[in-house]
Amino acid sequence: MRPVVTQEKIKNPLLESNLDRLARYGFRQANVAETDTAATDWARLKGDFARADEAAVPEFDQLPPAVQEAALHYIALKREADTLLSTCETAHGEILNQGLSVPRVEDYAVVRDAYEDKVEEFGAARAAVAGLLDQSPAA
């Protein structure tokens, strides 16, 4: 039998390694959705709220219920952004390996817009959590 010849895929190490920096917030960790709790997600993300002049940001379990609820929304949006960013990365890989073309670039523009909208929502959710944290008494 003839061996199957597959063309070597071109990789994009610069993009990959720099997106890996999002791993500290849970990006591209395949097991995240299965094993992580809101508490571990929150622990990764709470730096978004840690101003130098303020007391430490409480752990998830210490948050008042209303803040927990807003935090869960914020965490969910971050996970959705992760998924969309992975889709963008796949689209880059296709353009690189199959070639530039108008349909491939327009497909990319669609997923990229979706990612960008999600980041905007994530930012708004972050601001909502920050507002609630400012109002809630220190834990």
Partner 1 sequence: MKTYDKGDVLPDDYRTALINLMCFQADSEYAGGQRVAENMQYAPRPEEAYRLSKKVMEEFGHAYYVWNLLADLGIDVDARLQELVMHPDNPDKAKVNVINGFRKQNWAPLFDHWHDVALFSTVVTPAAVAFLGQYRECSYLPWAKVNTRIHKEEMGHLAFGVWASKRSMEFGGEAAREDMQGRVAKFMRVGLGFYGRPSTGDKKSEMFDIYYEYGIKVKKPEELQAEYLELLEDRLGQVGLEMPQGIEPDYDMRVGYELDAAE
Using CB under 8 A as the criterion, which residues of the chain lie in contact with partner 1 when the complex forms?
A: 10, 12, 14-15, 18-19, 21-22, 25, 44-45, 47-48, 50-53, 78, 81, 85, 88, 92, 95-96, 99-102, 105, 108-109, 112, 115-116, 119, 122-123, 126
How far CA 30 is from CA of 22, 38, 46, 72, 77, in Å, comes to 13, 16, 21, 20, 17
Q: Give the shortest CB-26-to-partner 1 separation in angstroms.
A: 9
Of 73 and 112, nearer to partner 1 (C-beta) is: 112
Of 18 and 135, nearer to partner 1 (C-beta) is: 18
How much is the CA Rg of the chain, to the nearest whole Å?
19
For 3-32, give one letter per residue: b (16+ CB within 10 A) or e.
eeeeeeeeeeeeeeeebeeeeeebbeeeeb
Of 3 and 17, nearer to partner 1 (C-beta) is: 17
